[in-house]
Chains A and B, each alone.
Chain A
Amino acid sequence: MSAGLLLQVLVAGLAAGVLYGLLGAGYSLVYRMSGVLNFAHGEMVVLAMFAFLLPIGSGAAVAVTSPSPLLLLLALLFAVVVTVAASIALFRFGIRPFTSRGSVVGWIAASAAAGLLVRSVVGFLFPAEAYSVPDLLPTGILPGQGLVSLPGGGVLNLRDVIVFAIAAVVAIGFDRWLALSGTGRAMQAAADAPDAARLVGISPERLALLAFAVGGLLVAVAAVLVAPSRPISIGLGILLGLKGVAAAVTGRLGSARGAIIAGLGIGVVESLLGNLSVPPLALGALQLPRLDLDPLRDLFALALLVVLLALAPARLGGAEERLD
């Protein structure tokens, strides 16, 4: 693989990985604040993408050619509001009733069912197979549609670079907010010692609600940034959600920074798998044809998740506690 192609693969991977990372950071924060793995989190991506489409021109399978920047901003705002509101509603009506009673099976089922509901409502409003999403970023004004040819045959998509940069700013801002702001520190206190936090006037329940809201915000931003790069469909959500969980678990559940870094790693590996193939092999009598690794792309994050859970549950915080 030439250096140019490698750069192309790397940048595309980072741009995709940013979404996994931001999703994973949401999972992590929510898990840390409430002990809940939100099975509807992935569907929130889909909700955000289609909520973004709704004000622009619903019903049309192909997007309006060039919506005005004002409309796009309005749509972004709408997407953020819808996603955050849905996340809060999910926590308030779907999760809280069960966590407050200590029913683990209850919140697992309720969050999964809420995901189903989001999915079917979006599917009801947007019945076509796939939709293309207009770009919030004015990449059209860049020279050559933002595509730069690289030596060795690679093509660098400047949009990917911009997406990555914006997401990196969001991620770093989020990380600093957690570490430095009063609310962020209250969150850490409540996660480490909920009872002690209660004594000093911090309400873990309110912070858990806030965690869901912030998770929704991160999802909305990431979704709107990444959506224009390919046609979207309602089936997208669950798989994205799983990749987000894989990032969160790989980055040690509970650490937002770990989730973002792991998400970037997963994105890069997927991008590599999509562009690599094992050359034909001849080992004596054994003849192996050229093996394309592209079909394994979506499997990677899942396999990583399963292997990690099976091999190192204690390190990830997933092992059952023993009595005494």
Chain B
Amino acid sequence: MAGPWQPLVDRIYGPRRPGALADAVGDARRWARGDRALALGGAALVLAAAVLIVGDVRTVARAGAGVYTIVALYGLWLVVVQTGQPSLGHAAFLGIGAYATAYLRLSLGLDGLTSLAISAIACGGVGWLLGRGTSRLKPAFVALATWAFGWLAILLVTAFPAQSGGGGGIALRAPLEVRLDALGLDLRFNDAGHLVAGVAILVAAMLLLRSAQRSAIGRGWASVRQHPGMAAAIGYDVAAIRRRALAWGGAVAGLAGSLAAQASGVVDPAAYSPLVSLQLFAAVLIGVPAGFLGPVVGYTITVLLPQLLIGATGAPSDSRLQGIVVAVLTIVALTVSLSWRRSPLPAAANAEPEQAATGTGDARAASRPPAAGVPALEVRGVDRAFGGVQALGDVSLSVAAGEVHALIGPNGSGKSTLLRCIAGTIAPDRGEVLVGGRSIAGLDAPARVAAGVARTFQRPVAFGQTSPQEQVLAAVRRGPGGWGWLRAVAKTPSYRVSERQDRGTALATLRRLDLAAGAGGDVAGLNSGELRRLQVAIALASRPSVLLLDEPAAGMDVAERADFARTLRSLAEEGLAVLVVDHDLGFVREVADRATVLVGGAVLATGKTSEVVRDSSVRRAYLGREG
């Protein structure tokens, strides 16, 4: 049966293996049973059908516009709730989509569908560019920059009325038309058509986003949102993930803006004002406790509920009261939803926990052992000064694969600075750091992780709100890579296989560090020794060839410490190079083959641990001066 296309089929569906079909059927069944999005999609279709049948023309038109707004909200949900970027300029994307469509249709004479596609892509591009500016900013400044971006967009409209139609906007006379001559198809979209198209797009967008959220992609989002610094330390390109989310969010909003303008026949600048951005932002946040249905709930509370309330009082719908009702409802709902106890932000969803429990993964240490004779880690003549203080002066050391090397010295001797130079947090003034014989100068944090360097921190950090297994899993595979995101979203069998393997690897790594018992529990329940071991597990999950540990045994009791030392030794025996900074000479003697003593930023001694610890000058440095 194998034909020339077999490689392609294998690529998408993975190599054939016994039981693959049964697995696929099981997966499909579980998905159909458990997925609320599917039920919701059905409910939306039924609701839309009901509106179409019993609603009058105005109701249908308003329902269609509402659905497009919810589509745009899902784009913002990706940006705000999933990747944690407080964007206050989302309505500008609606506007850019609408104005671009008007320009393409009226000035260039393109048809509606082409204009729609180009507008959405253009908005994606604008989102990406905005992300280039904002992806490295603090959250408060992201809010400020996007807020200014939203204002800039609307002020450009008022500054150039000749081109933009000013406050009155632009009229699009011809309806959206889809012609497929080959099929003899000619659809002109009226309000009902837009409602149907809107619901279809909404359901499609929801399914895609949900699928992405429940895959390795979603783990990347969660990592970046919960702890950007930690995400970068385990190898995620934080800025790229944020940029990508802004680009997709922008494109979705652009699509919605273009469609809404073509549905109503006008490009109305009031619909894209920064105040609308604020409402969209509030709607998305209000929906947070509702999880994946958040945007729908947020829209209901911020738009439908005020309309209902004002309608009930019998006041005219354009009443001045509306602003106050909307504002008060928004504040109340925000306060309630942001103080929601259980999960303030959704944790990365746990897609297939049952396989993971039984999975036997690969928790071997080094994946890339260096060529024979080349040290796994080599530091050559590193200098580093802070202002006038020489923290490191001509420091050299090397750690072979399979070796545990201890870095010891009194406080302020430059141990942490050296570790930071190796990890790439700071750049050395002079000298270089080689991993497997290759210089890693100039690489950013994700590239260093890819080169095989992993580290833990002096103060343990963890992603909040996710189980230890999810945290380790986030480090096992940092996003699907390349075009793999399509596979991840489509949940192809090959993706499922690799996902299952990754879960197995994560669990095996936890088992190795004696953390399997609490793998699915809450991180907050871990004691300090467990938390430190979790750091090591997360670092190991990225399959490093060099592991840097900053005081990993602090806060462990004697028995824990002995176990931990044994674990480190066995990891090294599998070919990992371990550089460990610690104060406790007992622990160091137990775990390290060799040791380097730093005093005042310079190497005082280096050699076998037992000899170095006995050395008289070392004893003086430790016990004499520091006492």
B86 touches A104 (CB 8 A): yes
Chain B stretch 310-343: residues in CB contact (< 8 A) with chain A = 320-321, 323-324, 326-328, 330-331, 334-335, 338-339
In the complex with contacts A117-B327, A120-B323, A305-B144 CB distance below 8 A = yes
Instruction: Report chain A residues within 8 Å CB of B458.
Output: 324
B139 touches A108 (CB 8 A): yes
A106 touches B148 (CB 8 A): no
Residue of A nearest to B80 (CB): A105
In the complex with contacts A117-B328, A123-B323, A313-B143 CB distance below 8 A = no
Any B CB within 8 A of the CB of A322: yes
Residue of B nearest to A249 (CB): B144
Contact digits for B278-292, partner A, Cβ 8 Å, 1 yes 0 no = 100110010000000
Any B CB within 8 A of the CB of A113: yes
A110 touches B331 (CB 8 A): yes
Contact of A323 among B134, B140, B229, B321 (CB under 8 A): B229
In the complex with contacts A120-B327, A310-B132, A97-B339 CB distance below 8 A = yes
Instruction: Report chain A residues within 8 Å CB of B564.
Output: none
Contact digits for A92-127, partner B, Cβ 8 Å, 1 yes 0 no = 001001100101111011101111110111011001
B166 to chain A, nearest CB (A): 11
B475 to chain A, nearest CB (A): 14
Any B CB within 8 A of the CB of A309: yes
Q: Which of the candidate stretches A12-20, A57-65, A293-301 sits at the interface with the other chain?
A: A293-301
Any B CB within 8 A of the CB of A319: yes
Q: Complex Cα distance A108/B285, Å?
A: 11
B306 to chain A, nearest CB (A): 11
A249 to chain B, nearest CB (A): 8
Any A CB within 8 A of the CB of B137: yes
- A113, A302, A310, A322 pick with most chain B CB within 10 angstroms: A113
Residue of A nearest to B339 (CB): A97
Q: Which of the candidate stretches A2-10, A34-42, A47-55 sits at the interface with the other chain?
A: A34-42
In the complex with contacts A120-B323, A242-B147, A323-B285 CB distance below 8 A = no
Instruction: Report chain A residues within 8 Å CB of B147.
Output: 39, 242
A105 touches B144 (CB 8 A): no
B86 touches A124 (CB 8 A): no
Contact of B324 among A39, A117, A309 (CB under 8 A): A117
Instruction: Report chain B residues within 8 Å CB of A324.
Output: 229, 233, 420, 423, 425, 457-458
Any A CB within 8 A of the CB of B128: no
Q: Complex Cα distance A73/B335, Å?
A: 38
Band of interface residues on B: 35 or more
A35 touches B140 (CB 8 A): yes
Q: Which of the candidate stretches B97-105, B151-159, B477-485, B607-615 sits at the interface with the other chain?
A: B151-159
A135 to chain B, nearest CB (A): 28
Contact digits for B118-161, partner A, Cβ 8 Å, 1 yes 0 no = 00000000000000111011111101110111011001101110
A303 touches B152 (CB 8 A): yes
Number of A-B contacts (CB under 8 A): 160
A112 touches B155 (CB 8 A): no
Instruction: Report chain B residues within 8 Å CB of A319.
Output: 136-138
Any A CB within 8 A of the CB of B461: yes
Q: Complex Cα distance A320/B229, Å?
A: 9
A242 touches B148 (CB 8 A): yes
Contact of A109 among B149, B229, B282, B321 (CB under 8 A): B282
B134 touches A320 (CB 8 A): no
In the complex with contacts A103-B338, A305-B144, A323-B233, A117-B331 CB distance below 8 A = yes
B324 touches A121 (CB 8 A): yes
Instruction: Report chain A residues within 8 Å CB of B151.
Output: 238-239, 242, 302
Q: Complex Cα distance A127/B321, Å?
A: 11
In the complex with contacts A110-B334, A123-B323, A124-B323, A104-B88 CB distance below 8 A = no
B143 touches A108 (CB 8 A): yes
A17 to chain B, nearest CB (A): 18
Any A CB within 8 A of the CB of B232: yes
Q: Complex Cα distance A246/B282, Å?
A: 24
B90 to chain A, nearest CB (A): 13
Contact digits for A234-261, partner B, Cβ 8 Å, 1 yes 0 no = 0000110010011001000000000000
B278 touches A112 (CB 8 A): yes
Contact of A113 among B228, B327, B457 (CB under 8 A): B327
Q: Complex Cα distance A296/B457, Å?
A: 49
Any B CB within 8 A of the CB of A306: yes
Chain A stretch 180-200: residues in CB contact (< 8 A) with chain B = none
B137 touches A320 (CB 8 A): yes
Instruction: Report chain A residues within 8 Å CB of B168.
Output: none
A321 touches B229 (CB 8 A): yes
A97 touches B335 (CB 8 A): yes
Q: Complex Cα distance A123/B141, Å?
A: 29
A322 touches B281 (CB 8 A): no
Any A CB within 8 A of the CB of B275: yes
Any B CB within 8 A of the CB of A153: no
Any A CB within 8 A of the CB of B274: yes
Q: Complex Cα distance A114/B328, Å?
A: 9
Any B CB within 8 A of the CB of A152: no
Residue of B nearest to A116 (CB): B327
A53 to chain B, nearest CB (A): 17
In the complex with contacts A127-B320, A298-B155, A104-B133 CB distance below 8 A = no
Any A CB within 8 A of the CB of B605: no
Q: Complex Cα distance A90/B346, Å?
A: 28
Any A CB within 8 A of the CB of B296: no
Residue of A nearest to B159 (CB): A295
B148 touches A310 (CB 8 A): no
Known A116-B323, A310-B145, A319-B137; further 8 A-B contacts with Cβ < 8 A: A98-B338, A104-B139, A105-B84, A116-B326, A123-B320, A124-B321, A306-B133, A306-B149
Give me the interface of A with B, judged by CB distance under 8 Å.
35-37, 39, 94, 97-98, 101, 103-106, 108-110, 112-117, 119-121, 123-124, 127, 238-239, 242, 245-246, 249, 295-296, 298-299, 302-303, 305-306, 309-310, 313, 316, 318-324
Give me the interface of B with A, judged by CB distance under 8 Å.
80, 84, 86, 88, 132-134, 136-141, 143-145, 147-149, 151-152, 155-156, 158-160, 228-230, 232-233, 274-275, 278, 281-282, 285, 320-321, 323-324, 326-328, 330-331, 334-335, 338-339, 344, 420, 423, 425, 457-458, 461
29 A-B residue pairings within 8 Å (CB atoms): A37-B140, A37-B144, A39-B143, A97-B339, A104-B86, A104-B139, A105-B80, A105-B338, A106-B338, A109-B285, A112-B278, A113-B282, A113-B331, A116-B330, A117-B324, A119-B327, A120-B324, A123-B323, A239-B151, A242-B147, A242-B151, A249-B144, A295-B159, A299-B159, A318-B144, A322-B425, A324-B420, A324-B425, A324-B457
